[in-house]
């Protein structure tokens, strides 16, 4: 007959062994890096399609899960609540809205300015030849987008304000329809929608962002994750730089690869890509200063609910830059 104490000892030993085995298995499981992206996130989607990021992160004990979003603000909201760890690029107008909502975000990279990748356009037969002639006219744009900021700056350069035009707050799809049926005099939009309306409808540019809006695209991280895993940010940053170099050196193949994913023809995508820098760089003081100008412009226009101080947000930099 087995001694009761011995039975308890054997049971405790088995329980400890099982717990130890489970613990070791869990320790061996890779940590998940959750990345949010959009269809416009060219470089991130390129990494996803090639599996290069997974290979780079494997020695760090990190696996990757990918999460698609329809637009930038929900992506950053998910980042703030901890549903994802890193965001792919978002347009420059997006972070101020997330910060106004109290998000704790860290800027970790940007794509160098691409000011010609957004513009104010009119139809090819329009009599309008200058931004000043938009006074009193109906102008379509997405409220709170970079296009909105571009319009504010373009009007200000002519001594006008948003009160001097009739805003039509429309999504890109609805803006294109309104533009083509003549219910708006002008449309403010970004690539690839800009390239599409130029190529397919002969739209004419009144002004692009040159000298008005730099149109940088920012990569962000949840601040707790950025503080905990700077090694992962270093790895992701390097892969993004390499992806950008490939797109710049291979414009044709890059467009052929990306076009089916966003539902456009390759020629339109290539035209759009020629206006986007795809140069991944550290976030610098000049970029943050424009983020503040965007935030201030939207606060003054009563688009943002409160004042945002961009300098309060952490900025990660590659170790070699200090």
pLDDT in tens, 27-68: 467 899 999 999 889 999 999 999 999 999 999 999 999 999
- Report the alpha-carbon distance of residue 35 to residue 94 in Å, rounded: 17
Q: Are 153 and 298 members of one domain?
A: no
| Residue 262, pLDDT above cutoff 60 | yes
How many CA atoms within 13 Å lie on the side-chain side of 240? 30
| Residue 322, pLDDT above cutoff 90 | no
Q: Are 98 and 191 members of one domain?
A: no
Let me know if residue 259 belongs to a domain: yes
| Residue 175, pLDDT above cutoff 60 | yes
What pTM does this model have? 0.87
* Last residue in a domain, options 208, 229, 247: 208
Q: Which range among 4-18, 88-102, 124-138 shows the weakest confidence by mean pLDDT?
A: 4-18
Q: Are 42 and 107 members of one domain?
A: yes
Q: Are 178 and 247 members of one domain?
A: no
Structural domain including 147 reads 115-208
Q: Are 232 and 98 members of one domain?
A: yes
Q: Are 227 and 137 members of one domain?
A: no
Mean pLDDT of the chain: 91
| Residue 20, pLDDT above cutoff 90 | no
Q: Are 102 and 141 members of one domain?
A: no
96: Cα separation from own chain's centroid: 12
* Residue 319 banded pLDDT, cuts 50, 70, 90: confident
Q: Are 244 and 103 members of one domain?
A: yes
Let me know if residue 183 belongs to a domain: yes
Let me know if residue 9 belongs to a domain: no
Q: Are 227 and 243 members of one domain?
A: yes
| Residue 2, pLDDT above cutoff 80 | no
Let me know if residue 219 belongs to a domain: yes
Q: Are 155 and 278 members of one domain?
A: no
Let me know if residue 12 belongs to a domain: no
Q: What is the CATH number of the domain that holds 73?
A: 3.40.190.10
Q: Which range among 10-24, 247-261, 273-287 shows the weakest confidence by mean pLDDT?
A: 10-24
Domain count, the chain: 2
Q: Are 250 and 302 members of one domain?
A: yes
Give the per-residue pLDDT at 28. Answer: 60
Q: Are 58 and 101 members of one domain?
A: yes
* Last residue in a domain, options 165, 185, 208: 208
The model's pLDDT over 179-219, given as tens digits with 9 standing for 90+, comes to 999 999 999 999 999 999 999 999 999 999 999 999 999 99
Let me know if residue 197 belongs to a domain: yes
| Residue 241, pLDDT above cutoff 50 | yes
Let me know if residue 5 belongs to a domain: no
* Last residue in a domain, options 208, 228, 249: 208
């Amino acid at each position: 007959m087995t001694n009761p104490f011995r039975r308890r000892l054997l049971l405790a030993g088995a329980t400890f062994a099982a717990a130890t085995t489970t613990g070791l298995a869990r320790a061996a499981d890779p940590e998940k890096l959750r990345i949010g992206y959009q269809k416009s996130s060219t470089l991130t989607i390129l990494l996803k399609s090639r599996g290069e990021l997974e290979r780079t992160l494997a020695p760090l004990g990190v696996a990757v899960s990918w999460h698609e979003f329809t637009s930038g603000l929900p992506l950053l909201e998910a980042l703030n609540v901890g549903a994802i760890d890193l965001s792919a690029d978002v347009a420059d107008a997006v972070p101020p809205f997330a910060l106004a909502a109290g998000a704790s975000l860290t800027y970790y990279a940007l794509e160098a300015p691409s000011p010609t990748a957004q513009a104010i356009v009119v139809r090819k037969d329009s009599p309008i030849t200058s931004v000043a002639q938009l006074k009193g006219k109906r102008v379509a744009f997405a409220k709170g987008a970079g296009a909105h900021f571009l319009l504010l700056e373009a009007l200000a350069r002519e001594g006008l304000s948003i009160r001097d035009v009739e805003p039509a707050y429309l999504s890109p799809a609805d803006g294109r329809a309104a533009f083509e049926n003549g219910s708006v005099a002008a449309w403010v939009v970004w690539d690839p929608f800009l390239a599409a309306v130029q190529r397919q409808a002969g739209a004419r540019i009144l002004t692009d962002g040159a000298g008005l809006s730099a149109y940088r695209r920012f990569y962000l991280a949840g601040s707790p994750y950025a503080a905990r895993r700077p090694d992962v940010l270093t790895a992701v940053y390097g892969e993004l730089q390499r992806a950008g170099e490939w797109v710049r050196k291979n414009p044709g193949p890059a467009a052929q690869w990306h076009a089916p994913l966003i539902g456009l023809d390759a020629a339109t995508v290539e035209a759009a890509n020629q206006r986007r820098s795809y140069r991944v760089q550290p976030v610098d003081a000049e970029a943050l200063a424009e983020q503040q100008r965007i935030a201030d412009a939207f606060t003054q226009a009563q688009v943002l609910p409160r004042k945002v101080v961009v300098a309060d947000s952490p900025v990660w930099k590659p170790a070699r830059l200090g």
